[in-house]
Amino acid sequence: MTIYNISTYIKTKTDPKYIVYEMELYKIDDKGNKIYALKSTGKQNLQADKRTLVHSSLDISATENTSYILELNLFHKIGNDEYEVLPEPMTAIIPLKGFLTADKKWELSREFEYNETTEKTQNGHVFIYSVKVTFKSRAFEAKEHPVGDQHDPFRKEKIEEGLAFRLAKLDYPNQDRSMLCGPAAFFYCLLIDRPDLYKQMVKELWESGRTKIGTLKLEPSYDCRHPTNFFKNEPPGYLPKVPAIDWITLASLRDTENSFFDYDSPNDNIPGITTAGDLKTWFKKAGAEIIYEINTKIINHITGPKLTLKDLCRLNSYVGEDTHVVMLITSRMFNDLINIPTKNHWIVLADKLKLINGYEVTEQTLLTELVELTCFSWGKVKNHLLDNTTLADVMRYSYAAFVISKIP
């Protein structure tokens, strides 16, 4: 159990003597309940250095790499009165370790920035003060259907609708017509483990084009935030090749992590590829731990060893509520129209590899037995295997895997 000293800084040109804040720190469970690390501070005066006071957290058992949401509401002080100035509180992600170190890689996912202008007018002997708060415009725009276009895929209402579906688990991150299966696997696990952080990251990326979880920083380039060739060349002509909410998250992650290539279109194939090393690093930076791995070294991607029956059974043993099993396969396992079987698709197991009668596969199972595999792939969680898929087929098309703890 640990007590943390909670404080933050507000970037503002407003004289801090006119600013009052209210702050809390929490995470949200699956039922939408706030789990507090710091309950509301009540209204407090901002200090002269534009920092909040230092507030002691509750006694917390969570590990220091667990991410929380820091919420800050602001009020403008005029005389003896205080006026709420934000349409909604400002929020940002921060791991508990961010309150223990000055290392910037653990800092807030975004700055708390507040800009205002105060206009003074007079009505007879009465002075009237008008406070106007300015906000940054959104970060994403499609060149074919920009802001104001009726088919603008990144308009706020469309993103909020997609987010509502995700949080209700009615659908999942979908790479659709892109090579973004690696980022999709990451954001699927985040959505399952920490839907509150998934929601916050979507919000921050849409608003400012940047976010962070743990030490994993997402800051996509201008070209990624203004994608080209974004729509399908088929009727009705304005459907995106990748759902807008997934371009905001998946493409932002891939583009940020690319060293040489911008990722600015769903048509980009090579810049969209994710290695096992990349994917493991993302999970570790987000706070998860690698528990087990097989064939994940870069040399394995070249030589291409396949998973054995023993490997598959061991992976089965890790499938559970506290872990994720992430596996590299060829998408031919799910689609027989793909002629060249290459290791090209990341999936996440949602259940153990089983016989079609429901029994678990073991090392004694005959390779000719028909099997089923419920997993996350292409925005769906279901048995993706083709009819009459045998255990031997699964082994033929499976190349690598790793097991991670949940994202804290």
**Which pLDDT tens digits describe the chain residue by residue (408 residues)?**
899 999 999 999 889 999 999 999 999 998 889 999 999 999 999 999 999 999 999 999 999 999 999 999 999 888 788 888 888 999 999 999 999 999 999 999 999 998 776 555 555 555 444 545 555 678 999 988 999 999 999 999 999 999 999 999 999 999 998 899 999 999 999 999 999 999 999 999 999 999 999 999 999 999 999 999 999 887 776 789 999 999 999 999 999 988 667 788 898 876 668 899 999 999 999 999 999 999 998 777 767 789 999 999 999 999 999 999 999 999 999 988 777 678 889 999 999 999 999 999 999 999 999 999 999 999 999 999 999 999 999 999 999 999 999 999
- Please state, in angstroms and rounded to a whole number, the distance separating the CA atoms of residues 13 and 10: 10
Paired tokens of 237 = 């002509």
Based on the structure, what is the number of domains in the chain?
A: 3
The span from the CA of 46 to the CA of 48, in Å, is: 7
Check whether residue 247 and residue 149 sit in a common domain: yes
User: 155 and 229: one domain?
Assistant: yes
Q: Are residues 141 and 268 both part of a single domain?
A: yes
Report whether 328 contacts 401 (CB < 8 A).
Answer: yes
Same domain, 253 and 162: yes
Residue 341: per-residue pLDDT? 72
Same domain, 160 and 256: yes
Tell me: do 299 and 262 sit in the same domain. Answer: no
**Contact criterion met (CB below 8 Å) for 361 and 391:** yes
Nearest-angstrom CA–CA distance, 86 and 164 = 23
Residue 174's domain comprises 137-274
Examine the fold and report which residue of 134, 156, 178 is the final residue of a domain before the chain moves on.
134
pLDDT of residue 406: 98
Domain boundary residue among 274, 302, 325? Answer: 274
- Number of other residues whose CB lies within 10 A of the CB of residue 129: 13
Please tell me whether residues 183 and 309 are part of one structural domain: no
- Clarify whether residues 176 and 221 are in a common domain: yes
For residue 248, the 8-state DSSP code is I
CATH code, 94:
2.60.40
Same domain, 268 and 329: no
Boundary-marking domain end, from 134, 154, 179? 134
Beta bridge pairs of residue 376: 348, 381
- Assess contact for 92 and 109: CB atoms under 8 A: yes
Whether residue 268 is found in the same domain as residue 143:
yes
- Same structural domain, 175 and 117: no
Same domain, 81 and 114: yes
- pLDDT at residue 279, as a whole number: 96
